[in-house]
């Protein structure tokens, strides 16, 4: 039960011995509130700590501690324990304001006065929330985390903590842990045809960090950016946050089309592309288009941001070399992530930047950003240097290939005529095409009701795609899970489309709208 | 020794069996170069793989692999192995450009066309490079990492990896690992008087990430920001990167002075303050000044960014409550970091933001930034929830207090008359004042020659400080190290100042300039 004190000032002090809050803290807070709300005038003399302690039935130490606190913060003056008064230095108007301010929540209508870029981000036409809850087929971007060699990683982690933790606890080098930058440069050179030295490699905290950093270093507000459409919506998020103007460029079977791009925004400063395996449609950018784009960049001092997000998983031929390897003019910023190859919560990625802008990127990283934890970088270094990384990629490549085949077989069997899939040469997802005229957002909602996650292609598009589709991630799910979910997806689609007039009408009006 | 082939095309192909590069890769690269440089015309028929293999003395498989690669990337057309030709789809002009482009480095004089904000950052009048090499007394901001309970941390890490890693490997919640946000809200409430719920706590990847995020959400380019002067230079870095206008506000013995601030920039949108323990001078902001500042923020919808970077280490009285706890209008953004309390390379910090802007901050975090690794967040949660955090703080508080006393004793004994120090009530460093007229940058260089690191106060100042000083970090160094370095510092200062005319003249002219 709360106790009140009978003495003058202390009528205002009420404490609750059953509260988890320490008693001294309660006394402190109550007296502070009384002062701030103007219920005790400046200059008022406080009762002695002994009197207060007796009245509140707490130890004198409790009161002394509370007074010390109030004194240290300027609410009280004079010597604690004898002649303590409410500070006279507190200007009256401040205290009156304090008294007026009622502890209600600020009104929502009041402008919180945030920045223009924050408003643009808050009002973006799409969300980028993280997946929560257990993974559901066919969520996009989830690797097979259950297949990750956790025991091995744990062992490497324990060794690092044992052997070299003390040197890894202090601030690290801005651009990233040097040995990691070296193994990445060497891996990218041999596996992806990227031409770089370790000096050009910057370690970042995942893919979004890389895209953001590139946007901030390369783009002014209002600068035009070309994006493949449909394309990677999180990259769009980074460009929106940089207040760039995004110009969608439709894809054809050779991928990103420079001619079309120049028609739409001849003044563009940057092209964002996923040449190895276009996200989400999957087309590989042709050599001719690559060379055209590089020529544009050289001619106009434009930038190419090459996002090589999942090219490790190529099934039908060897991985296609990176566009960066063809660049002789320092116009390509290359980025990749370990979230997809290892596990998403690792939050480690890299940028490879031309020599000329290494300093600008590093300065931005230090001034306006963050570094990844050194110890994780060190563990990853060992994982790569000791061959586990390539081994894991090989294992996942064959596993994902099997899972893709299971998905294609299931779709062809269970969703025949309603979804058209072709084998993808690479990656962790497929785009399955809906019959013309069927709205993919509606289709996504129908299958969601059946417990299946299938992102509509239009969620990745700036301009409504000519033909709707569902983007199906398969890498994170076993063949059994893929088949079960495929059957559920099939029956949900069939019953929705067979539902006749109302739903069919709904679909048509949606896709027309 | 490199081998060359005698056949027509393959005169151009040179491979080196001693190179670490795989043979197929060498063949691939040589042919690709020849095509791109226009040394082989489009449509040229290639020799059979058998011929080439014989000529180069490699296996036919090597040639087949190289051809497959070239074919997949569009350099070759036709069926691999019979009638393979150089692709005719490659436009001539592209190849000619390829031929012209010599592989020399781009000229430095060419504009790399980076953004305005990147130029501002690159041209900032100070550097924010990370410390490299072993820590040297009296580097600022280094905690006693050798005293960190590594074994305990390792054990908690191993437990998390064992028990809950699989659920922690996927993407995490944008605002941070929920249980960590809860323990932080509760810790800040009881220890720092911060009023917040877990919903208002966002986990970020260290202090710089927090400052950057706040600057981006709250400030437009050109917005005026008040900064304590001297002040935390890394915060200045974040505001520069946000293209804000920084207005230095001189300190007095009550800390940040609103009257002075309003004289200098009445239109300011944000005040950056370190009220508990001003960085680097150490003054505590008076209650009167806190209330004035809050009143300004309410009246003008301005923002207060409260950086509570090291207030855990308070020696003479209990920690001063945070300014945030006095805010009833949702105008204070509060930030803190675990880099100083635990270890710097952990890269975990937090922001506490008013309800009204939680969504805006979270959206910016997702669109334009990064999250901290989930597993580290989970380990830290356990560390706090199981009481190790408070125990570690208590241990460090008494250790740092001893180290501060050792520093003061050494300075008073060894550098008497040349450096004036007073006991600091809190923190991990001291500002030691030089005699009036002595340039602190020069003093810092003299002691650096003696192997002692002592940042000049003016390195943290926008306007030259009235009196120079050296900022001495003591937390990361044993009392013995402090004493030894203190003696070296003393003799370096003494001999430089006794060096007479030339050096004295140098000093005076510098401090006048």
Produce one character per residue of A237-274: b if its CB has 16 or more CB atoms within 10 Å, e if not.
bbbbbbbbbbbbbbbeebbbbbeebbeebeebbbbbbb
Tokens of B440: 């602190």
Residue A270 has pLDDT above 90, yes or no: yes
Query: Does the CA dihedral A157-A158-A159-A163 come out positive or negative?
Result: positive
* Phi-psi group of B387: left, alpha or beta (phi > 0 → left; psi -120 to 50 → alpha; rest → beta): left
- Chain B: residue nearest A323 by CA? B73
Rounded alpha-carbon distances, angstroms, from residue A22 to A9, A66, A70, B191, B193: 21, 10, 15, 11, 12
The interface predicted TM-score of the complex, written ipTM, equals 0.80
pLDDT at position B478, please? 95
| Candidates B32, B115, B271, partner chain A, best to mutate (most A CBs within 10 A) | B115
Q: Compute the distance between CA of residue B449 and CA of residue B496 in angstroms, rounded to an integer.
A: 11
Rounded to an integer, the average pLDDT of B194-220 is 94
Tokens of A214: 């590139």
Instruction: Mark yes or no for CB contact A173/B344 under 8 Å.
Output: no
**How large is the average pLDDT for residues A83-106?**
54
Q: CB B111 to CB A75 under 8 A?
A: no
Q: Is the pLDDT of residue A100 over 70?
A: no
User: Residue B297: in which H helix or E strand, if any?
Assistant: helix B287-300
**Which residues is B349 bridged to in the sheet?**
B204, B337
**In angstroms, what separates the C-alpha of B152 from chain A's closest C-alpha?**
11
Nearest CA in chain A to B233: A367
Q: In angstroms, how far is CA A65 from the centroid of its own chain?
A: 44
**Chain B contact set for A343 (CB, 8 A):** 169-170
* pLDDT (0 to 100) of residue A501: 35
Indicate the DSSP class of residue A104.
P
Chain A residues within 8 A of B141 when measuring between CB atoms: 171
**Binning pLDDT at 50, 70 and 90, where does residue A119 land?**
confident
**Which single residue is written with the structure tokens 């070309």?**
A226
- Residue A249: strand pairing partners: A228
Please determine, for residue B198, whether its predicted confidence score (pLDDT) is greater than 90: yes
DSSP string, A186-213: HHHHHHH-----GGGEEEESSHHHHHHH
Record: contact A216-B354, CB cut-off 8 A:
no
pLDDT of residue B260: 96
Question: Residue A321 and residue B32: Cα distance in Å, rounded?
Answer: 11
Query: What does DSSP assign to residue A8?
Result: T
Q: Which residues of A touch B87 (CB under 8 A)?
A: 287
Mean pLDDT, residues A15-29 taken together: 80
Sequence-distant (≥ 6) Cβ neighbours of residue B287 within 8 angstroms: A73, A74, A75, A87, A89, A90
Within 8 A of B343 by CB-CB distance, chain A residues are 169-170
Residue A11: pLDDT band (50, 70, 90) is: low
Contact B216 A373 (CB under 8 A): no
Please list every residue in chain A whose beta carbon sits closer than 8 Å to the beta carbon of residue B27.
none
Chain A residues closer than 8 Å to B91 by CB:
288, 291-292
Tell me the shortest Cα–Cα distance from B368 to chain A, in angstroms.
Answer: 5
- Sign of the dihedral defined by the CA atoms of residues A169, A171, A174, A178, in that order: negative
Please check the confidence at residue B297 and state whether its pLDDT lies above 90: yes
Of B59-63, B185-189, B377-381, where does mean pLDDT reach its minimum?
A: B59-63
Band the pLDDT of B110: cuts 50, 70, 90.
very low
Check A238 against B368: CB less than 8 A apart.
yes
User: What value does the mean pLDDT take over residues B8-15?
Assistant: 65
Q: Of A58-62, B112-116, B393-397, give the range with the top mean pLDDT.
A: B393-397
Show the tokens assigned to B59.
Answer: 């296996």
**β strands within B412-454, DSSP E:** 429-433
| B240·A320 Cβ contact <8 A | no
Tokens standing for residue B124 = 């900032």
Q: How far apart are CA B298 and CA B187, in angstroms?
A: 27
For A37, other C-beta atoms within 10 Å of its C-beta total 17
What pLDDT band is residue B1 in, cutting at 50, 70 and 90? very low
Considering only residues A127 and A425, tell me which one the structure prediction assigns the higher pLDDT.
Answer: A425
Minimal Cβ distance to B356: which of A112, A162, A173: A112
Produce one character per residue of B254-268: b if its CB has 16 or more CB atoms within 10 Å, e if not: bbbbbeebbeebeeb
Residue B115 has pLDDT above 80, yes or no: yes
**Chain A contact set for B157 (CB, 8 A):** 157, 161
Residue matched to tokens 């028609």: A263
In chain B, the residue whose alpha carbon lies closest to the alpha carbon of A146 is B166
pLDDT digits (tens, 9 = 90+) for B411-467: 999 888 899 999 988 899 999 999 999 999 999 999 999 999 999 999 999 998 989
Q: What is the pLDDT of residue B189?
A: 92
Chain A contact set for B216 (CB, 8 A) = 115, 117-118, 241
CA atoms within 13 A on the CB side of B124: 31
From A252's Cα to the closest Cα of chain B, the distance in A is 16
In terms of average pLDDT, the best of B96-100, B112-116, B168-172 is B112-116
Of B115, B161, B169, the CB nearest to A145: B169
Closest chain A CA to residue B149: A166
Contacts of B103 in chain A (CB under 8 A): 328
Give the span between the Cα atoms of A435 and A333, in whole angstroms.
38
Q: How far is B86 from chain A (nearest CA, A)?
A: 12
What distance in Å separates the CA atoms of residue B60 and residue B27, rounded to the nearest whole number? Answer: 12
Tell me whether residues B209 and A21 touch, CB distance under 8 A. Answer: no
Residue of chain A nearest B293, judged by CA positions: A94
pLDDT of residue A235: 94
Sign, Cα dihedral of B396, B401, B406, B412: positive
Task: Mutation target for A interface from B21, B90, B363, B378: give the one with most A CBs within 10 A.
Answer: B363
Residues B310 and B383: their CA atoms lie apart, in Å, by 19
- The pLDDT value recorded for residue B461 is 93
Q: What is the DSSP string of A38-84?
A: TSS-TTPBPPPHHHHHHHHTS-HHHHHHHHHHHHHTTSEEEETTEEE
Interface contact flag, B318 A68, Cβ < 8 Å: yes
pLDDT tens digits for A365-394? 888 877 788 888 999 999 999 999 999 999
Q: Which two tokens stand for residue B410?
A: 């050494």
Chain A residues within an 8 Å CB radius of B132: 173
Whole-prediction pTM: 0.81
pLDDT at A118 (0 to 100) = 87
Q: How confident is the model at residue A101 (pLDDT cuts 50, 70, 90)?
A: very low
Residue matched to tokens 């990683």: A153
Lowest mean pLDDT among A397-406, B130-139, B209-218, B292-301: B130-139
How many residue pairs bridge chain A and chain B with CB atoms within 8 Å of each other? 362
Work out the number of other CB atoms within 10 angstroms of the CB of residue B444: 22
Contact A15, A27 (CB under 8 A): yes
Q: Is residue A253 scored above 50 in pLDDT? A: yes
Structure tokens at B181: 């946000």
Whole-angstrom distance, CA of residue A398 vs CA of residue A414 = 24
Taking an 8 Å cut-off on Cβ atoms, the answer to whether A363 and B174 are in contact is no
Beta strands B255-256 and B245-252 are antiparallel
CA of A55 vs chain B CAs: smallest distance (Å):
24
Check CB contact under 8 Å for B367 and A124: yes
């Amino acid at each position: 039960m709360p106790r009140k004190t009978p003495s003058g000032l202390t009528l205002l002090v009420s404490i609750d011995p059953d509260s988890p809050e320490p008693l001294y803290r309660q006394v402190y807070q109550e007296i502070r509130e009384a002062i701030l709300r103007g219920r005790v005038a400046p200059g008022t003399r406080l009762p002695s700590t002994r009197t207060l302690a007796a009245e509140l039935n707490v130890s004198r130490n409790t009161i002394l501690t509370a007074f010390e606190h109030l004194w240290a913060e300027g609410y009280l003056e004079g010597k604690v324990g004898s002649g303590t008064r409410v500070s006279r230095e507190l200007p009256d108007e401040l205290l009156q304001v304090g008294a007026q301010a009622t502890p209600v929540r600020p009104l929502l209508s009041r402008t919180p006065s945030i920045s223009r870029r924050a408003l643009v981000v808050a009002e973006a036409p799409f969300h980028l929330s993280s997946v929560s809850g257990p993974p559901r087929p066919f969520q996009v971007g989830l690797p097979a985390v259950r297949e990750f060699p956790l025991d091995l990683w744990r062992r490497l982690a324990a060794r690092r903590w044992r052997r070299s933790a003390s040197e890894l606890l202090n601030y690290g080098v801005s651009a990233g842990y040097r040995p990691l930058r070296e193994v990445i440069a060497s891996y990218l050179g041999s596996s992806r045809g990227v031409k770089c030295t370790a000096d050009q490699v910057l370690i970042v905290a995942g893919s979004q960090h890389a895209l953001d950093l590139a946007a901030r270093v390369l783009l002014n507000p209002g600068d035009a950016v070309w994006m493949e459409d449909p394309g990677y919506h999180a990259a769009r998020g980074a460009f929106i946050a940089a207040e760039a103007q995004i110009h969608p460029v439709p894809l054809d079977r050779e991928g990103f089309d420079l001619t079309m791009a120049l028609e739409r925004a001849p003044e563009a400063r940057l092209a964002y592309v996923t040449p190895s395996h276009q996200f989400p449609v999957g087309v590989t950018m042709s050599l001719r288009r690559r060379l055209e784009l590089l020529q544009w960049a050289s001619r106009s001092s434009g930038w190419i941001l090459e996002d090589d997000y999942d090219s490790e998983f190529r099934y039908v031929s060897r991985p296609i070399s990176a566009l960066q390897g063809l660049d002789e003019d320092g116009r390509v910023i290359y980025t990749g992530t370990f979230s997809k190859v290892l596990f998403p919560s690792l939050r480690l990625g890299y940028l490879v930047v031309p020599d000329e802008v290494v300093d600008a990127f590093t300065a931005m990283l230090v001034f306006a950003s963050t570094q990844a934890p050194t110890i994780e970088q060190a563990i990853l270094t060992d994982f790569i240097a000791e061959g586990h990384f390539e081994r894991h990629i090989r294992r996942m490549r064959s596993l994902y290939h099997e899972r893709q085949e299971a998905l294609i077989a299931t779709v062809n069997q269970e969703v025949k005529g309603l979804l058209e899939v072709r084998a993808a040469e690479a990656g962790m997802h497929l785009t399955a095409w809906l019959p013309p005229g069927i709205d993919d957002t509606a289709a996504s909602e129908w299958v969601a009701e059946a417990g299946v996650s299938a992102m509509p292609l239009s969620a990745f598009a700036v301009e409504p795609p000519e033909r709707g589709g569902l983007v199906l991630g398969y890498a994170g799910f076993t063949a059994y899970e893929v088949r079960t979910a495929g059957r559920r997806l099939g029956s949900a689609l069939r019953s929705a489309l067979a539902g006749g007039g109302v739903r069919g009408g709904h679909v048509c009006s949606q896709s027309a709208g």
